[in-house]
Amino acid sequence: MSEMLPPGSTIGILGGGQLGRMLSVAASRLGLKTHIYEPGAAPPAGHVAEKVYTAPYEDEAALRAFAEGVDVVTYEFENIPTSALDLLESLRPIHPGRRALAISQDRILEKSFLNEIGLATAPWAEVTDAASLEAAIARIGTPGILKTTRLGYDGKGQARIMAPADAPAALAAMGGATAVLEGFIDFSAEVSVIAARGADGAVSCYDPGENVHKNGILHTTTVPAKLSEALRTDAVLIAARILNALGYVGVMGVELFVTPGGLIVNEIAPRVHNSGHWTQAGCTVDQFEQHIRAVAGWPLGDGARYADVEMLNLIGEDVARVPEFAREGRTQIHLYGKAEAKPGRKMGHINRVL
């Protein structure tokens, strides 16, 4: 794709959650319409989109209608069934491309790719049975963490192995799925780089943010991250290397561990990322618009940071504190339009300009 999609064009978004919602809003600023494809009822993105398709990813007729109504397809989450992608790809361009999706859907592919392009990850080994787990523990040692290679997020499909005796229970927790043993990393901080690559190959990275998790879910991201100048540059170079190696088009979230020996890649997400929400309050062009610009073939926008920001996620009942946040100076509120505040559910976030 080398041409700018003209205003009036339509972006198809797979997934109708908060990321799709904020992508829709960003698209509207550029005069672009959005259609949402989402199996679940009443998707948050549907409140701000021109059209919503409510259908499973197995519904070929719905996928076809969706694709035919849009100019380009993108997505807000990476676990889209391959069959749906195959069909959509035969009808419309999909950005970011299939290779990035395949890599991010499979921890083994992801780590292999990262190591192949010269980037450090936690020590890891593929585990398919008791024997390969024993061999992995022998090589990597304990403590470690066993994770299913596919469909894990927010701490699910994971089991800690504090000592070799924990191995059988951890293996059982995988339920027969292929897994990966990762050695524990002695890190002082986790940082994210939100990186974008345009259809023209230009790369632009937002300033790294520092993440704090609570109960396995992102709690805050603060910019600037407390990083030396050298590590800050390293972080950006790592992200740029990944995007270039993939010929990537769109925004990617790259999570990095800060260790005494330098930066280690934790994981990558081929989409806009929770740890990039601060860009709404700190940059002329936020990560959502940057992603839309990239997938629509527009030049990337100006992502230079002009403010220090703390992003705080509102999880479950945190949303009851909105009246209090609404009275705070220098504070932006972003709510996702979800009806019910279930425990652990991301209901919104605030950006505090520091």
Binding site, annotated residues for ATP: 107, 147, 152-158, 182-185, 190, 213, 266-267
For residues 260 and 323, which CB has a smaller minimum distance to a second copy in the complex?
323
Main-chain dihedrals φ then ψ at residue 280, nearest 5 degrees = -65, -30
Considering only residues 7 through 36, tell me which ones interact with a second copy, judged by CB under 8 A: 7-8, 21, 24-25, 28-34
- Please check whether residue 152 is in contact with residue 175, taking contact to mean a CB–CB distance below 8 angstroms: no
Cα 180 to Cα 314: distance, rounded to the nearest angstrom:
31
**Residue of 142, 173, 337, 345 interacting with a second copy (CB under 8 A):** 337
Sequence ranges of the binding site:
107, 147, 152-158, 182-185, 190, 213, 266-267
Main-chain dihedrals φ then ψ at residue 298, nearest 5 degrees = -85, 160
**Residue of 301, 311, 318, 346 interacting with a second copy (CB under 8 A):** 301
Q: How far apart are the first and last CA of the chain?
A: 39
3-class DSSP state for residue 111?
helix
**Residue of 293, 311, 315, 318 interacting with a second copy (CB under 8 A):** 293
Q: Does 47 bind a second copy (CB under 8 A)?
A: yes
Q: Does 117 bind a second copy (CB under 8 A)?
A: no
- Please check whether residue 100 is in contact with residue 75, taking contact to mean a CB–CB distance below 8 angstroms: no
For residues 35 and 107, which CB has a smaller minimum distance to a second copy in the complex?
35
Cα 218 to Cα 293: distance, rounded to the nearest angstrom:
26
DSSP 94: B
**Sequence-distant (≥ 6) Cβ neighbours of residue 132 within 8 angstroms:** 125, 126
User: Residue 226 corresponds to which tokens in the numbers above?
Assistant: 């407390």
For residues 43 and 183, which CB has a smaller minimum distance to a second copy in the complex?
43
Cα 278 to Cα 12: distance, rounded to the nearest angstrom:
25
Minimum separation from the CB atom of position 177 to a second copy (A): 37
Q: Does 321 bind a second copy (CB under 8 A)?
A: no
**Residue of 143, 304, 342, 354 interacting with a second copy (CB under 8 A):** 304
Stretch that binds a second copy, among 92-100, 139-147, 157-165, 334-342 (CB under 8 A): 334-342
Is the omega angle on the peptide bond into residue 96 within 30 degrees of 0, that is, cis? Answer: yes
Q: Does 298 bind a second copy (CB under 8 A)?
A: yes
In the complex, which residues of this chain contact a second copy (CB under 8 A)?
4, 7-8, 21, 24-25, 28-34, 46-50, 281, 284-285, 293, 298-299, 301-302, 304, 306-307, 319, 322-323, 326-337, 339, 348, 353
